């Protein structure tokens, strides 16, 4: 079992009720809250099981409070189960506290039929050979690796040149970030993993001038999965075009090794705490 499959496993304990364990290895900052896409993927596994469909098609999560490592309870409700789609609601609780509310549509993407048209503009992401291994210069030094966010270590990354320079105090001035990636343990990527990919990069807003990098809490995240990804590297590109009153949007696009569009995302978040107060 891959690490992702292990760390998002759920166990049915009652009618529509599941238990899971949040793993600290998916945190955005060491010792801090787990990645929102990881939390979404864990709940989505329970929702897919409850709805009897294998793939998330569209999942929206409203985050009420940050989870902490440890057990969670996921309560699901099948709103509608049809031949092609199942609509399922879910809530995540930890102790007596409500942590997140989700609504999703699930399907069998392997059985999807119909026309396909893709006229989206190609992202400016360079080919993989022209990208940078963001961890290679840290790997020999365990102390340096400890500074890399746990969620970043779950992947093998090749980032676009320049987009990570915000970490050295040199943001590009354009709200964009992305690269090529795959699981660090070599496991195949599935449609639940795409929910994490859609939220696994540092916020694109970090590259805007005048905003100090820091924790940018996600309020709502929606991920639409379009297809099961082909084996190999994924490419992902995320942009933030506007910040209004301390709120930002981030749009994401994920393609597989064949160039096929496999996921789109949008999230609403707060600007980093240090910048927005």
What confidence tens digit (pLDDT) does each residue in 72-106 have? 999 999 999 999 999 999 999 999 999 999 999 99
What's residue 143's pLDDT?
A: 43
What's residue 275's pLDDT?
A: 39
Number of residues that make up the chain: 277
Other C-beta atoms lying within 10 Å of the C-beta of residue 39: 29
User: Residue 261 pLDDT > 70, yes or no?
Assistant: yes
What confidence tens digit (pLDDT) does each residue in 45-75 have? 999 999 999 999 999 999 999 999 999 999 9
Angle subtended at Cα 128 by Cα 162 and Cα 155, rounded to the nearest 5 degrees: 85
- Which pLDDT band, with edges at 50, 70 and 90, does 135 fall under? low
What's residue 171's pLDDT?
A: 93
User: Residue 26 pLDDT > 90, yes or no?
Assistant: yes
What's residue 273's pLDDT?
A: 67
- Which pLDDT band, with edges at 50, 70 and 90, does 28 fall under? confident
What's residue 140's pLDDT?
A: 42
**Of residues 167 and 233, which shows the higher confidence score?**
233
Highest mean pLDDT among 200-214, 221-235, 263-277: 221-235
- Domain regions of the chain by residue span: 3-109+125-276
User: Residue 277 pLDDT > 50, yes or no?
Assistant: no
- Which pLDDT band, with edges at 50, 70 and 90, does 147 fall under? low
Please give the Cα distance from 73 to 20 (Å, whole number): 7
CB-CB contact of 128 with 233 (8 Å): yes
What's residue 20's pLDDT?
A: 98
Report the mean per-residue pLDDT for the chain. 91
- Which pLDDT band, with edges at 50, 70 and 90, does 142 fall under? very low
- Which pLDDT band, with edges at 50, 70 and 90, does 199 fall under? very high
Provide mean pLDDT across the span 197-209. Answer: 93
Provide mean pLDDT across the span 111-124. Answer: 91
Write the DSSP symbol of residue 132.
Answer: B
Provide mean pLDDT across the span 156-173. Answer: 91
Please give the Cα distance from 202 to 166 (Å, whole number): 10
pTM of the entire predicted model: 0.93
CB-CB contact of 177 with 203 (8 Å): yes
User: Residue 18 pLDDT > 60, yes or no?
Assistant: yes
The CATH code of domain 3-109+125-276 reads 2.40.160.210
- CB contact set of 162 (below 8 Å; sequence gap of 6+): 172
**Residue of 265, 273, 202 whose CA lies nearest to 41:** 265
């Amino acid at each position: 079992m891959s690490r992702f499959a292990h760390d998002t496993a759920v166990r049915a304990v009652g009618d529509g009720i599941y238990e899971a364990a949040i793993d600290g290895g998916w945190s955005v900052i060491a010792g801090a809250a787990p990645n929102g896409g990881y939390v979404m993927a864990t709940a989505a596994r329970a929702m897919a099981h409850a709805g009897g469909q294998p793939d998330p098609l569209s999942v929206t999560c409203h985050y009420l409070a940050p989870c902490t490592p440890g057990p969670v309870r996921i309560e699901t409700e099948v709103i509608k189960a049809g031949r092609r789609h199942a609509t399922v609601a879910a809530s995540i609780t930890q102790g007596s506290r409500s942590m997140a509310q989700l609504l999703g549509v699930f399907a069998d993407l392997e059985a999807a039929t119909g026309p396909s048209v893709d006229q989206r503009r190609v992202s400016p992401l360079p080919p993989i050979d022209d990208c940078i291994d963001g961890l290679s210069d840290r790997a020999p030094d365990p102390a340096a690796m400890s500074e890399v966010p746990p969620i970043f270590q779950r992947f093998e990354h090749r980032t676009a040149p320049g987009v990570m320079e915000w970490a050295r105090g040199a943001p590009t001035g354009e709200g964009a970030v992305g690269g090529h990636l795959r699981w660090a343990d070599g496991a195949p990527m599935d449609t639940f993993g795409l929910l994490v990919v859609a939220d696994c990069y540092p916020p694109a807003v970090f590259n805007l001038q005048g905003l100090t990098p820091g924790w940018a809490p996600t309020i709502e995240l929606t991920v639409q999965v379009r297809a099961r990804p082909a084996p190999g590297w994924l490419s992902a590109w995320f942009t933030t075009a506007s910040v209004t009153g301390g709120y930002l949007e981030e749009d994401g696009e994920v393609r597989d090794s064949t160039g096929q569009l496999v996921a789109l995302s949008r999230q609403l978040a707060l600007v980093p705490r240090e910048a927005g107060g």
